[in-house]
Structure 1
């Protein structure tokens, strides 16, 4: 029986690689795309959704549920990046990062958890960030704070005794080798960065039966960056 996987950020630089890899493994892929964004990918069934708007997320899942009986997994890649330290960050900077990173993850995972809890459980893979785990991101304060909350959310899901066979994990990449990152840091050693294909393989592992015994992992995908 084909397993349904929901993906946010499916049309991005990392997301498109993840979609291709999971498609090759035989998953049925369902994803979200921003309202008004005309995107077509034969490997994934896309639904329009504003991930930071509660009602939009709810309506999106109503549409998905009318077409699919269940979801086995969710891969939450959507988010954003921003600079700022404790010295120069404004309230708006913090709220922007929380809306882009935490709120999108929270609203989406809440719908997934509710659905999974009514069926046979499932897997949720969140996206963290190295500064939120290792520290040292003083110039990335709003970003690191929002990603720390995402990691806390995954841990709280895993510790919730009301939930039935729902397993949350977090991938934590360092700098990802994407065209925009290469353009922004042309003098860097790209071999030190983590490749999107490697991230996709690790996500596939977390969704696989092999990871059944894993509990509450934070998977650090740093390479040498």
Structure 2
């Protein structure tokens, strides 16, 4: 489907997206468009954190939840990003959908999801992914591929029967946005940009249109 066709069907997702009153509905519309047009992982997002020395760090992760409070992803809390969020619980996200020529940037503080939320999502993961969450010492040195395969084999044997429980070091994080910027490519680099911002995750949104 072309951009022009989508613009005709849903004005909030294109030329008149600046009319949106809050960011979550607009983001949901854009994500739905991406799910129809992106060939791989439309929910992929760049996650930026800051380490104890104040040095930024970034990597791609997958958005696994969106609710009225924010954007959710899951990870090993002993990984680099897990340790960085424990030290400085703030983060930024970037979604870039090349097929749609759109980008969304998110910034805000971060909270850990509840155990119930983490348990519910972990239960939906494929069994081998559940085993991998136990076997992988994420972000730490690995002496060779064989060591990882041995850890997977050991964990598989341990949970040969029954359900695989969620590891205590595996959970989710929710970014509570205080700024969400929407960008849509336009000819001659005269792009459309709007940003929704608020002092805290409990405050009302304000909307500003930006120069490209």
TM-score (normalised: structure 1)? 0.26
Between Structure 1 and Structure 2, the one with more helix by share is 1
| TM-score normalized with structure 2 length | 0.27
Q: Which is strand-richer, 1 or 2?
A: 2
